[in-house]
Structure 1
Amino acid sequence: MSKFFKWVGVSLFVLTLLGLVLAAGALFVFYNSIPKINGEIVLSGLKGSASIVRDENHIPHIEAKSKIDAIRLLGTAHASDRLWQMHVTRMAAQGRLSEMFGEATLETDRFLRTLDLVSPSKKSYEILDLKTQQLLLAYTRGVNDFIDRKKGVFEASLPPEFMILGQTPEAWEAWQSIAIMKVMSLTLDSNMGHEIGRLALAGRGFNGADIENIYPYDPRDKNVPNLELNQLYGWGADGKENILNSKQSSKYNKNFGHTKTSVAGLEGDDFSELAWPIHQSASNSWAISGNLTSTGKPLLANDPHLGFTAPSAMYLAHIRFEDNGVLKNIIGGTVPGMPVFLVGRNDRVAWGLTTTKLDSQDIFIEKLDLQTGTKYLTPNGYSDFIEREEIIKVKGGESVSFIRRETRNGPVLPANYKKLKQRLPYNTVAALGWVALANDDTTMTAALNISDAKVVNDVLSYSKKIVSPMQNIIAADVDGNIGLIAAGRVPRRSIANFVRGRAPVPGWIQKYRWLGFLSASDLPKIYNPQNNILVAANANWLPKDYEKHITFDWSENHRQIRAENLMFGRNANHTALSVKDGMADSYSRAMVAFRDFGTSTLAGAVNINELLFDRLRKWNGKMEKNTVEPLIMVSWFRHANELVFKDELGEEFELVKNGNVTRLLTAMGNGRSQNWCNKIRTPKFETCADILSEALDKVVAELETKFGPDWTEWKWGVAHIAVHEHRPFSKVDFLKDFFTLQQPISGGKFTLLRSTNNIGAKNPFVATQGAAYRAIYDFSNLNNSKFMISTGQSGNVMSQHYSDLLDKWATLQYITMSTLKSDYEKNALGTLKFVPAQ
C-alpha cells in the first residue's frame, strides 16, 4: 500500500511538473509573439530606405521616401500590433465569424451575409481613382509583408488569439479595407432600429402623439409632419393608403416565412444584437477661431466615442514622407485595417469628426404574392426576388445554408431580426434601403484626400466625396480658418412622403422610394462663422436657414447645448487648458433636469429619506466617480423609466429600456400625449409623484443590496466601471480576466466626458462606450498638440503596451505627439529599418 501511495505521489508530481512545463512553454511562445521593433528588413518595391521609429509610448513614426511607401509601412505597423483585431473585423464584414467561433455567431453571420457588404466593397474598389487604388494596394502589401515575414528562431508567427483558436489569416486584399469602412457605417448608422420601433408601437395601437413621446424630436427640428402610422398601415383606421386587405388589417403573420422559398433568418431564434452589440456612436468636437483664443491661433478638440474594446478601436500613428522634394507629415488617429487618418493633422490643417445621425436607412415593406410567396409587389405588378444561396461554414458543426433575397429596394432582412416576423403586417417582408450599400462608394478617396488638405476649404471640398457613414467634419488651419460640414450621401424623399424616413413604408408605392440624393452643394456647412466657434455633438447643429432634411433621429441635445454653453459662455479668451477642461466636463445637464423635476414634484412628500433627498437637491450636477449622487440619480432614472413605460409598452419596453431623459421628462410633463405615469393594471390612479416616490424607494433597496446600508459610503466609480471587452475572449470564463481591461471612471451617458451605461442592461451602471480617442490641436504650436487612446497601442495581451495608456486615459491625461524627429526619437523604444531589395 505504501508503494501505491508513493507511486501516486510520484505520478502527481510528474503530472504537475509536466503541466508547469507546458504552461511555461505556452507563455514562452505567446511572449515571443510580440513582434520585433529593432533590426533591418529587406523589402522589394520600396522607393528608398524607410524606417519605423517606436516612441516611448510605442507609437510608430514612419519615415519614407514617398507616401506610397509610408502607407505600406502603416499597413505593416497595423498588422504587427493589431492583426487579430483587423482579422475579426474583416471576417465580420464577410459574415464569416462562425468559421472561427462556431454557432455562437451564426445569426450575426446570417444578418451580415444578408446585408452583403462584400459585393459593394469590391465594386467600389473598381471605380476608385488610380491614386486611391495605389494607396490601398500599398497598404495591402504592407499588411501582407508582416503576415509573410521571415521569423526568428523563437519568434511566433502570429498573435496568441490565432494560436489559441487554431486560425491562420488569409492574405489581405485591398477591397477589405473598404469593407471595414462599411462595418463602421453599420456601427454609426442606427435609424433602422428606430423605424422598427415606431412600427412596433403603431402595431400596439399607439397614435402619432404617443409615438412622438417615445421618439421625441430635437427642439431645433423644423416643420415636423405628423406621423399617424395607423392611417398608413390600416390598423384600426380608415386610412387612404391602407396597405393591408381589410380582413387582415389587424393581423401579424405568426407563420411568417413559410413560403416555398425560405427567407433569411427563418430557422433562427429572435435576435436584436449582433454577436457583439453595436454601440451607437457619439462624439464631441469644437473649433475656436484665433479671435477668441489667448494666442490668436485656432484650437480644435475632438473625441470620437465608440464601443469600449480591448484593444482600442483607434491606433495612433505618424507618417513622414517626401512629396516632390517637400517633407510632409500626417499624424493622428487611424483604424487598423484602413490606410487613412480618420482624425488628425498634417503640417497645415487639423480635422476631427462626429456622427451626424443621418437618416441613411429606410425599411421598405414588400408585399408577397399570396399564392406562391416567391414574388413581391411593385408599381408594375409582381416581380421576382433576386436570390442567392449563402453557405455559412460553422466551426465544430455542419455548414448552414439559406436563401438571400433582394428586392429593387434592397436586401430582405432576416425574419427573426428585431422580431420583424411578429411586427410586420401579414404576408410581407422588410427590405433595407441603405446608403452604405452603394457600389460607387468613394469614402476612402475622401478620407485619403482630407489628410492632404492645405486649408479648411480643401477639407470641406474633399469631404463631398464621402458616401457613408455621414460625418460632421470639423477643421481648422494655420491661416486661422475654421469650418464644419455634414458630409455624406443624403437620400432625397418626395414631398408626398409624409413618413420622411421615420418608419417602414410600402415598397410598391412609388412616392416612398428615394428620388436620388442631395447634391454636394446642398450639404450643410459653416465656414468662418461670425461668432468664431463651431460645435458638433451629434444633435442638431444645422444653420438656422438650412431647409434640407437630414434626419429626425438626432442624439439628445444635452451635450450639444452644454458644449455651446461652455464655449460661448467663457468670459476670457480660450486656451488649450479651457478646451481640455471642456472635454473633461462631467456636468450632466440631463441628470440635473431630471433631478430638478423629481425634487420639485416630490417637494413636501412624506416617507422620503430627507437627508438623501437634500443631498440630491444640493448636488452640483457633476458625475464624479468619488461621489454618491450620480449613482443615486442614475438608479432613480432607471427605475422611473421602467415604472413609467413598462406597463403601457409591455414587451415593447425593450425599445426604451436604456433610457432617454427627454422622453421621460416629456412623458411626465405637460407635453405628454397620455398619462404615462398611471399604471394601467392597478385600480389606483397613480400620479407622477407616486411613480417618482416608488422609484426612489427602489433605488434605496437596490443600492443597499449591492453596496451596503450606509448610502453616504456609496460611490459612482465603484459601479461605473469602463469595461473594454476583447473579442472573443472576454466571453470565455478562464480567459476573460487576462484579456478584459477595466477602470473606474467619471462621466456618464449625457456628459461631455462621455461614458455610456445602459440602464436596461444586466449591469446597468457599467460603461460600455466613450472616447476611444481624444485630441487637442493647438495651432500656436502644432507639435504641442495632445492625444490619447483608450487602452494601449498593442493588441497583443503579452505586450506591456496592451494597456499602458489605460490609466492615463481614465484620469484624463494626454501624451504629446510631435512630428519633429528630435522629439519622437528621444526615449524611443526601437527602430525597425527597411531597405529596398537590390
Structure 2
Amino acid sequence: MLTLFRWLLRLTIALIVLAVLSAVLVWYFAVRSLPDYTASYPVTGITAPVEIVRSTENVPHIFGKTDADVFFALGLAHAQDRLFQMTLLRRAAQGRLAEVHGPRALPADDLIRRLGLQRAAQASLEVQDDDTLAALQAYADGVNQWIRIVNDGAMGRGAPEFFLFPDVITFWQPADSLAILKLMAAAGTDSAGEEILRARLALAWPERGMQIVDRAGIPAALPDYAGLFPGARLGAPERRLDPQADYDPLGFLRPEQALGGNAFGAEAQRTAAGAALLANDLHAGLTVPSLYYLARLELEGGGVIGATVPGMPLVLSGRNPTLSWALTPLDLDVADIAIEEVQPGNTDRYRGTQGWTEFQTRTEVIRVLDARPQTITLRETQNGPVVPGLDPGLRDVTPIGHVPSLRWTGLSQRDRTMSALMALMRAGDADQATRALADVVAPALDVTLAQGETVTRLAAGAAPQRADDHPTKGALPSPGWLTETAWQGTVSLATQARRPQDGLALATEEPEADGLRHDRLSGLLGGREVHSRDSFIAAQLDVVSPAARALLPLVGANLWFTGDPAAPGTPERQRQDALTLLAEWDGAMNEHLPEPLIYAAWMGALQDRLVRDELGPLADDLIRLQPHFIDAVFRDRDGAAAWCDVVQSAATEDCATIARQSLDRAILDLTAEYGPDVTSWRWGDAHQARHVHPGLGALPALGWIMNITQSISGGEFTVARTGMIGTGDDPYQAIGGAGYRSVIDLADPDSSVFITSTGQSGHPLSRHYDDLAGLWRRGEYIGMSLDPDLARAAAAGITTLTPAD
C-alpha cells in the first residue's frame, strides 16, 4: 500500500509539473507572436525606408517614399495585428472555413462556393486600373513579408490562434482582397431574403400575410405567389430556425449581422465653426477584433486617415487633406430569386427562355476538419447560380420539382468597385469622387462627401433594370423561364452629387420614406439651427427608440391607469407598476433602466401573439420586431385589426385584450428571469454586447477568455443601433452594432474623432486587444491627426522597414 501511495504521489507531481511546463510553453509561444512595434526589418519589395509610427492606441501612421511602399507597409501592419482575422475572412470568401472549423462551417462554405465569390474576384482582377493593381500587389507583398518574418524568426506563427488550428498560412494574393470586398457586398444586402420572407408570408395567409413586413418601396399590387407557378405543388411549411441554437460567429451573412450604418453632414451655414461637419458609423457583426482597423497612410497625393478593413488596401471611411467621405449601404434591391423548373425525368436540364436547357455544372470538394471531404455539384443557369441554401425558408417557397437561382449584381466578373473606392480615397474634391464612384458595382453605396464648407451626397452602384411587365417587380421570387423576369442589364447610379437644400444631409440603410431610425436622425439634426462636433457626437450616440415612442401610446391606450390599485406582490400589481413606468418613460433605451426591458419583452410577446395562430411554424422565424405591422394592427389600417382575433378560439378577441395578455406574458417571463420587483429590472442585464471571437468564441473555456461582453444602451431602432439575436434563451443579446464611428470637423480637421468597437490588435495578450472597447461602450472617441509631427511626438513605437540588400 505504501508503494502504491508513493507511485500515486510521484504521478501526481509529474502531472502537475507537466501541466506547468505545458502552460509555460503555451505562454512562451503566445508571447512570441506579439509584434515588436519598435523593431527594424530589412524587407524585399520597397524602394526606400518606410516608417510605421504607432500611436498610444496602436493606430499606425505610415510614411513612405511611394504609394506602393505605403501600401506594402499597410499590408505588413495589418498582418502584424490581424493575421488570423485576415485568413479567416479569406477562408470565408473562398468557402474554406470547414477545413479548420469542421462540419459546423459546412453550410457557410457550401453557399459561398455556389455564389463563387473567389471566381468572380479573380476574374474582376483583370479590369482594375493600373494604380489599383499596383496597390493590391504591394499590399499582398507586405502581408507575405510579415509571414516570412514570422516564419524565419519563429515568432509564434503570427497569432496564438494558429496553434489551435491545423492551418497552413498561404501567401496573400491580390484577388484575396477583391474576394473580401465581395463578401462585404454579400453581407450588405438582404434583398433576396426579403423576397423569400414576403413569399412565405403570402403563402401563409394570402389575404393579409404581407401586412407584417414594411411595404416601403414595394409595388402596391403583387400577384398571388402560388399563382405564378400554375400546376406546381408547394411543400408544407416547416420550422426553419432553431430558437435554442447557439449563435455561430462564423455566419458572416446572417441578417442580424448585416452591414449597415448612418452618415450625416452639415454645411457651413448650419455649423458653429463655419465649416462642414461629417459623421459616419459603420455597422457590422460585433466580433473581436472588430471588422474595422484605424490607420493613416501618407500617400504621394497627401495623407489619408480613417477606417480600413484588414485584407484590403483601402481607407473605407475617413478623410484626406481636402475631402472627407462617409459610406452606408444603399437601400436598393440588387438581387432577385429566380425559380427554375427542372425537367421531369432529367435533373441535368431546366426550363429556360428557349426551352429545356442544360445546367452548367462542375464539382468541387470541400475539405472538412476531422470528417470526410464533401463533394458538391455546383449548377448554373442563365439567371445565375443555383443556391438552395441561401436562406432557411427558401425551401418553403420553391415548388416541388424546381430549384432556386440567384441574380445579384455582386456576381459580376467585371466589377471595378475596388478601383472606384481607391480613387475615392485619393479624390481631391466632390467632382473627382463622383467620377470615380461611377465604377462601383457592389456593394451599392450611399456616399456623403464633405469639402470645405459644403456637403454633397450621391448613390453609387449597379442598379438592376427590370422590365415594365415584370410580374413581381423583383419583390417576390419569380419564374426563371419567363423573358420578362430577366434583367435588362444594370445602370450605374453615380451620375451627380446633390447638395442638401437645408444644409443637412443624412443617410441610413433604411428606406428614406419610412425608416424609423432615419426619421429620428432627421429630427435630431433638424431640431438645431447650428451644429458642432459635440452635437454630432450626441446624435450619433442617441439611444431613444422611435419605435417605442410610436407604439407604446397606441398599444397601451386602453390599459393606462385602469382599475383599482392591486395588492403588492400580485400579477395585477406588477402590470400596474410596469405601465406606470412606461407611461412616464421618454423612450431612451438606457442600460440602467427597467423600461426598455419591459417594452422589448412586451412588443416581442405581442407580435408573437398576433401572428402565431395564422402563421404556424413561420412565427418562429419572425425574430425581428415589425413596428409598422403593430402600428397598422392597432390603427386597423386596411383591416389589419383582424390579426388580433385568435382563430382557434370561439370568442372574438379585440386588440386591447391581446395587448394586456401579451404584457402579462412578458412580465411572467421577466419575473422568472429577474425576480418579481419590476423596478429592479435593468435593460443592461439582458442587452449585452457580445463581441465574439470568430475562431474560438464558441469554445466554452477559450470563449470566456477571447470574447468581450459588456452591457450597453440602445436597441434595434435607435440611431446608436444594436442588432439583437432575437431568439433563444438570450434574445436581447446585441451581436451587431457600430464597429466604427467617426466625426470629422473640417473647421479643425485634427480635432476629428474616431473609435472602433474593440482594439487595434487581434492578439488576446496584447493590451490593444480590448483597450478601445470601454471607450466605445461609454461613447468616447480617440483623436487622429494628419500632422506628421504630432504623430511622431506621441509615438508609442516606430517600426522601420528598410530595403533588403
* TM-score, with length taken from structure 2: 0.94
* Residue pair 1:494, 1:514 contacting (<8 A) in 2 also: yes
* Residue pair 2:320, 2:426 contacting (<8 A) in 1 also: yes
* SS of residue in 1 equivalent to 2:490: coil
* Residue pair 1:778, 1:785 contacting (<8 A) in 2 also: yes
CA distance in 2, matches of 1:810, 1:510: 52
Which range moves more in the overlay, 817-826 or 356-365? 817-826
Q: 2:273 aligns with which of 295, 304, 324?
A: 295
Number of the residue aligned with 2:242:
none
**Deviation at 1:416?**
8.3
For residues 606-627 of structure 1, what are the alpha-carbon distances to aligned partners after superposition, in whole Å with 9 as ceiling and x for unaligned?
4463232121111011111111
Q: How does 1:303-702 map to 2 (within 5 A)?
A: 303-323=281-301, 328-414=302-388, 417-478=391-452, 480-520=453-493, 526-541=497-512, 557-571=515-529, 573-603=530-560, 605-606=562-563, 607=572, 609-674=575-640, 675-702=642-669
Number of the residue aligned with 1:553:
none
**Deviation at 1:311?**
0.3
For residues 424-448 of structure 1, what are the alpha-carbon distances to aligned partners after superposition, in whole Å with 9 as ceiling and x for unaligned?
1131111100100001000000110
**Deviation at 1:300?**
0.4
**Deviation at 1:421?**
3.4
* SS of residue in 2 equivalent to 1:157: helix
Corresponding letter in the other structure for 1:227 = L
**Deviation at 1:461?**
2.2
Which range moves more in the overlay, 91-100 or 152-161? 152-161
For residues 535-585 of structure 1, what are the alpha-carbon distances to aligned partners after superposition, in whole Å with 9 as ceiling and x for unaligned?
10122348xxxxxxxxxxxxx6111011111111114x1111111110111
User: Structure 1 stretches of 5 or more lacking a match?
Assistant: 235-241, 256-268, 543-555
CA distance in 2, matches of 1:415, 1:350: 40
CA distance in 2, matches of 1:735, 1:196: 37
Number of the residue aligned with 2:766:
799
Number of the residue aligned with 1:286:
264
Number of the residue aligned with 1:709:
676
Corresponding letter in the other structure for 1:731 = A
Corresponding letter in the other structure for 2:524 = L
For residues 410-429 of structure 1, what are the alpha-carbon distances to aligned partners after superposition, in whole Å with 9 as ceiling and x for unaligned?
00112685243343113111
CA distance in 1, matches of 2:49, 2:250: 44
CA distance in 1, matches of 2:782, 2:798: 20
Q: 2:235 aligns with which of 252, 255, 266?
A: 252
**Deviation at 1:225?**
3.5
Number of the residue aligned with 2:569:
none
Cα distance change on mapping 1:322 and 1:272 into 2, 3 Å: closer
**Deviation at 1:660?**
1.6
* SS of residue in 2 equivalent to 1:189: coil
CA distance in 1, matches of 2:250, 2:469: 35
**Deviation at 1:688?**
1.1
**Deviation at 1:67?**
1.1
**Deviation at 1:663?**
2.0
**Deviation at 1:756?**
2.2
Which range moves more in the overlay, 167-176 or 370-379? 370-379
* SS of residue in 2 equivalent to 1:411: coil
* Residue pair 2:196, 2:393 contacting (<8 A) in 1 also: no
Number of the residue aligned with 1:226:
221
* SS of residue in 1 equivalent to 2:157: coil
* SS of residue in 2 equivalent to 1:574: coil
CA distance in 2, matches of 1:610, 1:4: 69
Corresponding letter in the other structure for 1:612 = A
* Residue pair 1:289, 1:297 contacting (<8 A) in 2 also: yes
Number of the residue aligned with 1:105:
105
Cα distance change on mapping 1:560 and 1:417 into 2, 3 Å: closer
% of aligned pairs identical? 30
CA distance in 2, matches of 1:417, 1:559: 26
Q: 2:750 aligns with which of 766, 783, 790?
A: 783
Corresponding letter in the other structure for 2:311 = G
Corresponding letter in the other structure for 1:537 = T
* Residue pair 1:213, 1:673 contacting (<8 A) in 2 also: no
* SS of residue in 1 equivalent to 2:547: helix
Which range moves more in the overlay, 116-125 or 653-662? 653-662
* Residue pair 2:555, 2:634 contacting (<8 A) in 1 also: no
* Residue pair 2:533, 2:743 contacting (<8 A) in 1 also: yes
* Residue pair 1:376, 1:384 contacting (<8 A) in 2 also: yes
**Deviation at 1:307?**
0.9
Which range moves more in the overlay, 753-762 or 73-82? 753-762
**Number of residue pairs matched?**
786
* Residue pair 1:104, 1:275 contacting (<8 A) in 2 also: no
**Deviation at 1:4?**
2.2
Q: 1:835 aligns with which of 798, 802, 805?
A: 802
* SS of residue in 2 equivalent to 1:772: strand
Number of the residue aligned with 1:550:
none
CA distance in 1, matches of 2:229, 2:339: 9
For residues 298-344 of structure 1, what are the alpha-carbon distances to aligned partners after superposition, in whole Å with 9 as ceiling and x for unaligned?
00001011110000010000011335xxxx10000000001111101
Corresponding letter in the other structure for 1:470 = A
* SS of residue in 1 equivalent to 2:438: helix
Number of the residue aligned with 1:724:
691
CA distance in 2, matches of 1:359, 1:251: 26
**Deviation at 1:670?**
2.0
* Residue pair 2:267, 2:455 contacting (<8 A) in 1 also: yes
**Deviation at 1:407?**
0.1
Q: How does 1:55-94 map to 2 (within 5 A)?
A: 55-94=55-94
**Deviation at 1:755?**
1.7
Number of the residue aligned with 2:733:
766
CA distance in 1, matches of 2:723, 2:493: 34
**Deviation at 1:764?**
1.1
For residues 731-778 of structure 1, what are the alpha-carbon distances to aligned partners after superposition, in whole Å with 9 as ceiling and x for unaligned?
111210011011111111111111222433431111111110000000
For residues 219-256 of structure 1, what are the alpha-carbon distances to aligned partners after superposition, in whole Å with 9 as ceiling and x for unaligned?
xx4x83311324xx32xxxxxxx5333xx4x443999x
* Residue pair 1:659, 1:758 contacting (<8 A) in 2 also: no
* Residue pair 2:150, 2:156 contacting (<8 A) in 1 also: no
**Deviation at 1:728?**
2.2
**Deviation at 1:14?**
2.0
CA distance in 1, matches of 2:253, 2:181: 18
CA distance in 2, matches of 1:706, 1:622: 22
Corresponding letter in the other structure for 2:450 = A
Cα distance change on mapping 1:369 and 1:533 into 2, 3 Å: same
Corresponding letter in the other structure for 1:505 = S
CA distance in 2, matches of 1:152, 1:173: 20
* Residue pair 1:253, 1:425 contacting (<8 A) in 2 also: no
**Deviation at 1:596?**
1.1
Number of the residue aligned with 1:216:
214
* Residue pair 2:560, 2:583 contacting (<8 A) in 1 also: no
* Residue pair 2:751, 2:785 contacting (<8 A) in 1 also: yes
* SS of residue in 2 equivalent to 1:149: helix
Cα distance change on mapping 1:520 and 1:636 into 2, 3 Å: closer
* Residue pair 1:642, 1:657 contacting (<8 A) in 2 also: no
**Deviation at 1:90?**
0.7
Cα distance change on mapping 1:89 and 1:586 into 2, 3 Å: same
